[in-house]
Amino acid sequence: MTDSLSLLQLYVEWGADEALSPFPVDRLTTPQAKPPPPIQRAGDEGHHFSHATPASPAARPSRPAPPPSAATMAERAAADARACAARATTVEELHAVMASFEHCALRDTATHTVAPQGRPGAHVMVVGEAPDADEDRGGVAFCGETGRLTDRMFGSIGLSRDDLFLAPVIAWRPPGGRPPSAMELKSCLPFLQRLIVLARPRRLILMGNIPVALLTGERITAARARGRWRDITVPPNLSETGNNSGTAHVIPALPMRHAQQLRASPTARRDAWKDMLELRKTLQEDGYNHGA
C-alpha cells in the first residue's frame, strides 16, 4: 500500500494529475503548476489522505487555433503582392520589389530573381514559362538555349530582341525545375500583371502552357489555345500608376507553344510557324515598323 501511494505521489509530482484529459498539454512549454498538498500516509493523523484538486476547466490550456490553410496563405501572399506591385512605377522598381518579397518560398531556393529582357514600350511582350536552369544561373529571362531558340522563332518573321520585351511567368525557378504549384502562381500573378502594365506592349505572346492557363484563367494547353487572339484583363488596382484607379487594362494576347516544345514533333514546328505568320499579319495591320 505504501509503495502504491509513493508511486501516486511521484505521478503527481511529474504532473500526471489526471487519468484522461480532452486537451493536449505540452509539458515542455506549459509552466508547471504548484505541487499539490502531500498525500497523507496510512498511520498519519486521522488515517486519511487528501486528493489533488483537479484543475478547473478554466485553468486548462485552451485548444490552439488551427494553422491557416494553404489557400488562405496564398490569398494573403497575393494580397501583399498586389499592394507591393501597385507601388512600383517602373520595371526596375518592380524587380527590386520582387527581389525583396518574402511571401513566396521560391525566392529562397532560387539562385536569382530573374529579370525581364528588352525595352519597356516594345510593341510585343513575350511571357514564357518558369525560369529554367540557364535563366536561374544567369538571372535574366530567355537566355541560354531557350533564348537562342526564341531568337530563331521571331527572327523568322524579321523580329529581333529590340522589337520584344521578354519575361518569365514567375521570377524564380522552382526547385529541381518542377512546375510551379497553383498556390505559387497565384501569389506571384500580381507581379506579372503589373509588369505587363509597366512594359506597355500593344500585343502579348503567351509562350507555353503555364502562361496560357494563368493569364487566360482557363484550364487549357498552349497547343489547344493557339491560333487566335484573346483579350487579357489586368485588375484595376494594377492597371494604372495610381493605386486607386478603377480602369482595367485589356490587351490582346496570342497563345503559342514554347520554344522548347518545337523539338517535340513536326506538328509543333508547323503550329509555331502558323502562329508566327499570324503575328506578322497582325503587326502589319497595326502598322508596326520593325526596328522602329
pLDDT, residue 242, reads 47
Supply the pTM of this predicted model. 0.74
Query: Burial letters for 47-82: b for 16+ Cβ neighbours within 10 Å, e otherwise?
Result: eeeeebeeeeeeeeeeeeeeeeeeeeebeebbebbb
Query: Which grid cell is 167?
Result: 519575361
pLDDT, residue 240, reads 64
111/108 Cα distance (integer angstroms): 8
Domains of the chain by range and CATH?
Answer: 1-65 (no CATH), 75-286 (3.40.470.10)
Q: Work out whether the CA dihedral 203, 289, 144, 95 comes out positive or negative.
A: negative
160/154 Cα distance (integer angstroms): 7
Comparing C-alpha atoms, which of 189, 118, 159, 170 is closest to residue 275? 159
16/30 Cα distance (integer angstroms): 13
Please list the residues that pair with 164 across neighbouring strands: 124
pLDDT, residue 5, reads 75
CA distances from 96 to 54, 84, 292 (A): 58, 10, 29
pLDDT, residue 279, reads 96
pLDDT, residue 29, reads 65
Q: Per-10-residue mean pLDDT for the chain, 292 residues long?
A: 71 68 63 59 53 55 72 84 92 95 91 94 96 94 92 94 95 94 93 95 96 94 93 83 64 94 87 95 89 49
Do residues 54 and 17 touch, judged by C-beta distance below 8 A? yes
Do residues 136 and 110 touch, judged by C-beta distance below 8 A? yes
CA distances from 49 to 9, 13, 38, 43, 55 (A): 11, 16, 8, 10, 19
pLDDT, residue 63, reads 72
Q: What is the Cα Rg of the chain in Å? A: 31
189/215 Cα distance (integer angstroms): 8
Residue with cell string 525557378: 173
pLDDT, residue 60, reads 62
